[in-house]
Structure 1
Amino acid sequence: MSVATPAPEPTPEDVARGLAELERHLGAPAPHPPEARPTGADDASSGETRRVKRLRAEVAEARLIAGLQDDDTPLLLDTPRVRKRRKAAREAARLHELGQDPAMRAWQAARMRRLLVAVAMVSLTLALAWSTAGVQHFASEGAALWSPSWVFAWLVEPFMSMALLFVVGARAYLATRGQPIVSRTLVRIEGVFLALTFGMNVWPYLPWSLPQGKAFTVSGIVLHILGPSIAVAIVIALPIVLGAFAGLDHERPTGAPTGPTYWANAAPGGADIAALAARVHDLIDAGELPEAPSATRIQRTLRCGMDTARAVRDELAEGAT
């Protein structure tokens, strides 16, 4: 069994040299730890900086956009404004087509006729009511207030107006049925009622009828002839207008007219000129038409087309020769 040799004891030089190494070691600066790189930091060695990555993304986006720009599909889509205009155009076209339908044309004409008749009758009633005060002033002849003469004077205009409205209403209604009354007697009756209303309104305000000390004024005459004048206009115009409505043909038009045109004749499928000429002869014999009526007068009386009226006029002229 071997015996371990004891280590030699250090000499004073070894101790001094160890202390010097220890002091040198302790005096040296401590090494700095490596800096921590932030998460997601760019790799400088590969050149992939944040700016490079952003530019790479822009280039990729531009390439995709350039490829999609050749596709016209988005241009084929309707914008909300285009759809709104297209809807309005379709609606206008359908309304126009509906307006050409015979049933719709007849309904529109009937509605307009009712409106015109209502306006005319309201205006006529107001005009006759306006003249009532003037007629009462004429008929009372200065009677005392609330005396029998003064009270009954208010009834003069109403019963004349009712009689006038009876004649006007009958002519207007029959005109709407295509059977206008062509009677000089009724025209004279209307003229008498209107002349009486006109005269009684104006007479007290004429220069020779004014009391002494009261000056004549044109405005007084105008105000009192306003009501009778409107009544005369409506009485004359209403049967003519309604007769024109009765002569309307509501069939679908075949083309745009190039001038004053009438759609069709009175008789369905064409007019019998000889029969119409015989009817005009009867009206001439009855005194309701002149000896040689014009085409316009014949058209207005028979409610036929203007071409038919001209043919009837020529037929009458040939028969006269």
Structure 2
Amino acid sequence: MTVPTAPEPDETQRGIAELERYLSEVAPAKPERDGEPSSPGGETRRVRQLRAEVSEAHLLAELQDDDTPLMLDTRRVRRRRRAAYEAARLHELAQSPVMRAWQAARFRRLLVTAAMVSLALALAWSTAGVQAFAADSAAPWSPAWLFAWFVEPFMSLALLVVVGARAYMGTRGQPIKSQTLTRIERLFLALTLGMNAWPYLPWVADEFVFSRLVLHLLGPIVAVAVVTALPIILAAFAGLDHGGPTSLTGLTYRQNTPTGRADVAALVAQARQLIDAGTLPGEPSANALQRALHCGMDAARQVRDELRNR
């Protein structure tokens, strides 16, 4: 049996050197540093980054020539287009005779309401002046003093009845033209104006003050102005031309004249052509036929019955 001997120091050194050489040949390359080659081709990390940037630039240049993204509508464009279409439809609707009639009726009601409120406030303003005239020198809270407060209200109510009737009939297109009602209005207004102004006239008042006279005349003057102007305004509205039929009956049941068999046959033939073309359904209603054939409702019903019977 042979006993192994310890290696010599020179042999140990040679073995370590061989091991280091072997490891340096087969081991992976060290992490690359800037300026140090990391592959057999000699490309560094900076070279690869620049190569990637160049490739990306070429792709971006190719995509920039495509204008498809510029042709897409943005949210702002769609919102503006929707607003434009809505404005165009509202403008078209505003030109409709029915819409003009509705706007005129609405504005007329507004004017009548404002006029009646102004008239009521003007008559209420003059109540104090009429009470001072009617009470004369009666003691406060005496029967004569209390009764004086009712003089202006019952005259105002009678005047409002006349003016309200004329205003309502005017809004219906049938203004009342009566000299009797005109005289009644003038009588009530003259009484209200005289009773308000009398205690403050220069030859009646102990101390004439012009501003006091004007304040007491303000209510009756406004009432006179409203009563005089309102019939004229309503007459102008009654004669307003809206440029076409203003009732739904005139639009829906137009051309409702007696229709002969020949006319119905021609309409039936036209309706069959529209059904074959797909414009009308297989069994159209009278309303659909009336809109498609531009005929009266009675004729549309006859065409509908003819189509169903065949």
TM-score category of the 2 structures, normalised to the smaller one: 0.5 to 0.7
- C-alpha separation between the residues in 1 aligned to 2:239 and 2:222? 26
Q: Which residue of 1 aligns with 2:222?
A: 230
Map Cα deviations across residues 176-197 of structure 1 (whole Å, 9 max, x no partner).
3333333444333322211211
Q: Which residue of 1 aligns with 2:209?
A: 217
Q: Which residue of 2 aligns with 1:103?
A: 98
- Say yes or no: does 1:60 pair with 2:55: yes
The structure with the largest alpha-carbon Rg is 1
What is the CA distance between 1:203 and its match in structure 2?
1.4
Q: Which residue of 2 aligns with 1:165?
A: 160
What is the CA distance between 1:124 and its match in structure 2?
0.7
Q: Which residue of 2 aligns with 1:136?
A: 131
Which portions of structure 1, spanning 4 or more consecutive aligned residues, are displaced by more than 4 angstroms?
Answer: 21-30, 38-42
What is the CA distance between 1:167 and its match in structure 2?
2.2
Q: Which residue of 2 aligns with 1:191?
A: 186
- C-alpha separation between the residues in 1 aligned to 2:113 and 2:170? 16
- C-alpha separation between the residues in 2 aligned to 1:48 and 1:25? 41
Q: Which residue of 1 aligns with 2:73?
A: 78
Does the C-alpha gap of structure 1 residues 252 and 66 become closer, same or farther in structure 2, counting only changes over 3 Å?
farther
- Say yes or no: does 1:246 pair with 2:246: no
- C-alpha separation between the residues in 2 aligned to 1:94 and 1:135? 56
Contact 2:201/2:208 (8 A) holds in 1 = yes
With the length of structure 1 as denominator, give the TM-score of the two structures.
0.65
Does the C-alpha gap of structure 1 residues 137 and 25 become closer, same or farther in structure 2, counting only changes over 3 Å?
same
Q: Which residue of 1 aligns with 2:29?
A: 37
Q: Which residue of 1 aligns with 2:118?
A: 123
Contact 2:130/2:196 (8 A) holds in 1 = yes
Structure 2 counterpart of 1:98, which letter?
A: L
Contact 1:102/1:252 (8 A) holds in 2 = yes
- C-alpha separation between the residues in 2 aligned to 1:71 and 1:85? 25
Contact 1:100/1:252 (8 A) holds in 2 = no
- C-alpha separation between the residues in 2 aligned to 1:28 and 1:177? 126
Does the C-alpha gap of structure 1 residues 221 and 38 become closer, same or farther in structure 2, counting only changes over 3 Å?
farther
Map Cα deviations across residues 155-204 of structure 1 (whole Å, 9 max, x no partner).
11112112222222232233233333334443333222112111111111
Matches within 5 A, 1:264-283: none
- C-alpha separation between the residues in 2 aligned to 1:52 and 1:27? 41
- C-alpha separation between the residues in 2 aligned to 1:90 and 1:23? 100
Q: Which residue of 1 aligns with 2:46?
A: 51
Contact 2:109/2:171 (8 A) holds in 1 = no
Deviates most, 41-50 or 233-242: 41-50
Map Cα deviations across residues 96-119 of structure 1 (whole Å, 9 max, x no partner).
111122222222222211111111
Give me the identity figure in percent: 65
Structure 1 counterpart of 2:226, which letter?
A: I
Aligned partner of residue 176 in structure 2, secondary structure: coil
- C-alpha separation between the residues in 2 aligned to 1:62 and 1:252? 67
Does the C-alpha gap of structure 1 residues 56 and 26 become closer, same or farther in structure 2, counting only changes over 3 Å?
closer
Provide structure 1 residue ranges, at least 5 long, that are not aligned to the other structure: 1-20, 254-321
- C-alpha separation between the residues in 2 aligned to 1:131 and 1:218? 17
Contact 1:210/1:216 (8 A) holds in 2 = yes
What is the CA distance between 1:140 and its match in structure 2?
0.4
With the length of structure 2 as denominator, give the TM-score of the two structures.
0.67
Map Cα deviations across residues 235-271 of structure 1 (whole Å, 9 max, x no partner).
0111111111111222359xxxxxxxxxxxxxxxxxx
What is the CA distance between 1:84 and its match in structure 2?
1.0
What is the CA distance between 1:218 and its match in structure 2?
2.3
Q: CA RMSD in A?
A: 2.8
Map Cα deviations across residues 49-90 of structure 1 (whole Å, 9 max, x no partner).
211211111221221222122222111111111111111111
Contact 2:32/2:44 (8 A) holds in 1 = no
Provide structure 2 residue ranges, at least 5 long, that are not aligned to the other structure: 1-6, 246-310
- C-alpha separation between the residues in 2 aligned to 1:85 and 1:147? 72
Contact 2:94/2:100 (8 A) holds in 1 = yes
